[in-house]
Structure 1
Amino acid sequence: MSIFTHASEILEARVNHFLNKAEDPAETLDLSYEKMIESLQDSKRHLADVVTERISLENQMAQAQKAADKAEADAKMALGAQREDLAKAALGEKEVALQKIASLQAAHDNVAAQAQKLTDYEQKLQERIEQFRTQKEVMKSQMEAAQSEIKVGESMTGIGDGLADAGDALRRAQDRTAQMQAKAQAMDGLMAAGVLSDPLDQRSQTDKDLDQLRASSGVDADLARLKAEMAGQEPKNAAKDDDKAAT
C-alpha cells in the first residue's frame, strides 16, 4: 500500500466519522420522504401530460371519423343525383379521413400504453411511499427511545453532563470538608500543646498550666470529699436498718 493510498483512506475515514456525527438520521429520513413525494408529483405531472395527449388524439380521431361519415353520405347523395364524379371525389375524401384515423389510432395506442404504465408506476410509487412513511415513523420512534435510553444511562453512569457535574461537586465538597476537619483537629492539637493561643487570653503558658493544675486538683479534692461523705453515711444507714429489723 502506497503512502498516498493510506493517506486517502485516513482522510475518507475522518470524513465519514464527521458525517456520521453531523448527520441526523431523523432529518435524513424526512428528507428522503420529501424527495419521494416530489418524485410522485413529477410522475403525476407526466401522467397528466400523457393523458392530455391521449384525449387530444381521441378528439382528432372523432373529427376524422365525422369527416369520413360525411364523405360517404356525400358520395351516396352524388350517386343519387347521377353524379358519379362527385361520388368518387367524396369517397376519396373518405379514404383520406380513414388513413388519418389509422395513423391517429396507432399513436393513440402508444400513448394509451404509456399512460397505463405511468398509472401503474404511480400506484406502486404511492404504495411504496406509504410503506416508507410508516417505516420512517417507526424508525424515528425507535431512535428517539434509544436516544432517551442512552441519555438516561449516561446520566446514571456519570458519562453525561448531569450527574457527572453533580458527582464532581460532591467529591469537591467532601474533600473540602475533610480538609477543614483535619485543620480543626490540627488547631485543637496546637492549642492544647501551647503552640497556638487565644489572642484574648493574656496569660503566660506557665499561668495556664498552673490554672489547669488547680482546676484538676480542685476536681480531685471535690471527688474525695464526696467519697468521704458517702462512706460516712453508709454505717449510719446500716444501723438504722438493724434497729428496724429488731423492732
Structure 2
Amino acid sequence: MASRVELADEVRAWLEGLVAGGLPEARLVGEAVTALLDEGSGLEPPLVVAVESMLRAQDPRRALDHSYHRQLALLQQVRRGVADVATSRKRMELTLEQLGRQCRTLAEQGRKAADLGRDDLAQEALARGSATSAELARATADYGALQGEEEKLTAASRRLQQHVDSFRSRKETAKAAYTVVLAQAAIDRACVDLDDPAVLGPDPEDAITGARARVEEALGSAHGLEQELQQELGGTVERDPGLLGNDPLETGLLELRPGSPADSGIRILFAVGPAPADTVVLLAAAVRQGNWWTWYDEALPQARNLLAERSIPLAAGGTAFPTYSKESFLDSFFPGRAEEVEAGAALLVAGNRTHPLARVRRRSGLTATQLAERMQVAPETVAAIERAEPGFTEVRTLAAYVEALGGRLDVVADLGGERIVLSGPRTGE
C-alpha cells in the first residue's frame, strides 16, 4: 500500500485538463490512481505492468534501446562522480597552496622577530608554523589519496564507456538482424498467401526465433553491464537512487493502465519511491489510440530525467513534485465524487484480481464452456466470474471456479503483518 502520490507537473496539468473537460478518462485515471494508493505492490498485470517486460515482450528492439539509455544514465552518474572528485582535488590544491604560503609567512615572521630580539613573537610564530606544517602534512596525504581515487574513477569511467560503446554496436547489429528477419518473414507469408512458393525461404518462424534469441543474448549482456555500472556506483560514487532498483530487469519504471483489463487508451508511467518508499511518483501520461511507440520514445527518457531530478536535493537544484494523500488527491481532482471514485477503484482491483483466472483457464486447455460444464453453471457465469462482475466474486463462487480447474482456493488473513492462511469453503459444503 502507498500512502501518498506525487505528480510531475505535466501529469498534474494533464489530469486537470481531463477533469475540467468532463472527459470520462478523468474518472478512469482517478480510479486507477486510487487503486494504486490502496493496493500498491499488490497490483499486477494487466493494470500494472513493468515497462521493461512490456517492451521486451512486444518488441525486444525497444527493450535494447531502453537498456542502452539506462546504461548512459548510469554512466553519466559515474562521470558526475569523477567530476566531483576532480573539483575536490582542485579545491584541495588551493588549500595546499594557501597552507604553504602560511608556513612560509610564519617562518619569515619568526626570523624577523628573532632578529629584533622579540623571542616571544618568534616562539609564537614558531608554534603557529608547526601547527600549520602539521596541517599541511595531513592535507598533503589527503591530496595524495584523492589523486589516487580520481585516477581510479577515471580509469573505471573509461573502461565502462568502452563497454557501453561495445554494447551499442552489438545492440544495433542485433536490431538490424531482427528487422531483416521480420521483413523476410512478412515477404514469405505474402508468398504463401499468393501461392508463390518459388521465393520461399526457410521457415520464417524458425528465423524469427533465432533472431530473437540473438536479441535476448544482447539483453542478457545488457543486464550484466548495468550491474557492473551499479557496482561502480555502489562503491566510490554515490548512486542516484531515482533511476533503478536492485534488478534493472525487474524494477524501475512501471506503467499504470486505467480501465484494465479493457484498453482505455490511457498510459501512465510511474515509479515507487525509493524515498520515501511508500510514495508513488507519476511521471508521464497520455491518452491516445493506435501506435504507442512514438510516445514511449519521448516519455521514457522524460520519466528517467524527472526521477533523476527528483533525487537531487532542492538546495542543489533538484525538483519537488506536488504531493497528495489519497484523501487530498480525491478532494483536489474529484471534489464531491470521492465515494464514487473509490467504489470504482474497488471494482477495478477486483476485476484485475480475477482477470488472470481466464489466463490460467486457457493454459489448462479449457474453454469457458467446458469449465462451465464442470461447474454445472451457464457459460455466462464463467465469463462473469472472469470479469469480476458484481455478485460473482464471492469466496464460494471463486472457490468453485478454482476447484473446477483442479486447484483449491485459500483465504489469507493479514493481521498487522502476520499472515494466516484460512482454507476456503468447499463447494459441496
Q: Tell me which interval the TM-score lies in, with the shorter structure as reference length.
A: 0.5 to 0.7
Query: Which structure dedicates a bigger proportion of its chain to strand?
Result: 2
* Partner AA of 2:142 in structure 1: A
Deviation at 1:122, TM superposition (A): 1.0
Q: Residue type matched to 1:157 in 2? A: V
Look up the match of 2:172.
137
| Alignment partner, residue 41 of structure 1 | 76
Shift of the 47–157 alpha-carbon distance from structure 1 to 2, 3 Å rule, reads same
Corresponding position: 1:105 with 2:173: no
Percent of aligned pairs with the same residue?
A: 26
- Classify 1:28/1:81 alpha carbon distance in 2 versus 1 (closer, same or farther; 3 Å): same
Task: Give the aligned partner of residue 90 of structure 2.
Answer: 55
Say if 2:107 and 2:126, in contact at 8 Å, map to a contact too: yes
Which of 12, 22, 27 is equivalent to 2:62?
Answer: 27
User: Which AA in structure 2 matches 1:80?
Assistant: D
Q: Which amino acid counterpart does residue 84 of structure 2 have in structure 1?
A: D
* 2:184 aligned residue: 149
Structure 1 portions without partners, runs of 5+? 1-17, 165-247
Gap change, CA 1:92 and 1:24, over 3 Å in 2:
same
Residue in structure 2 matched with residue 64 of structure 1 by the alignment: 99
Q: Which has the larger radius of gyration?
A: 1
Q: CA deviation at 1:85?
A: 2.0
Describe the shift of the 1:54–1:20 C-alpha distance in structure 2 as closer, same or farther (beyond 3 A).
closer
2:183 and 2:79 mapped to 1: Cα distance?
Answer: 40
Whole-Å Cα distance in 2 between the matches of residues 76 and 104 of structure 1? 25
Give the superposed CA RMSD.
2.1
More helix by share: 1
Give the secondary structure class of the aligned counterpart of 1:82: coil
Residues 75 and 160 in structure 2, CA contact (< 8 A), matched pair in contact too: yes
Cα distance in structure 2, aligned partners of 1:100 and 1:131: 46
Q: Runs of at least 4 residues of structure 1 off by over 6 A?
A: 18-21
Gaps of 5+ in 2: 1-52, 196-429
The 2-side partners of 1:57 and 1:66 are apart by 14
Matched residues in 2 for 1:119 and 1:22: separation?
37
One-letter amino acid matched to 1:94 = G
**Deviations 1:121-158 (Å, cap 9, x if unpaired)?**
11111111111111111111111111111111122123
Shift of 1:21: 8.0
Partner residue of 2:118?
83
Amino acid at match of 2:172: E
Structure 1 residue 19 displacement after superposition: 6.3
TM-score with structure 1 setting the length: 0.54
In 2, the alpha carbon distance for the partners of 1:112 and 1:20 equals 43
- 1:125 counterpart letter in structure 2: L
1:150-229 matches, within 5 Å, as 150-158=185-193, 163=194
Q: Which has the higher contact order (CA 8 A, sep 6+)?
A: 2
- CA deviations on 1:206-238 (whole Å, 9 max, x unpaired) are xxxxxxxxxxxxxxxxxxxxxxxxxxxxxxxxx
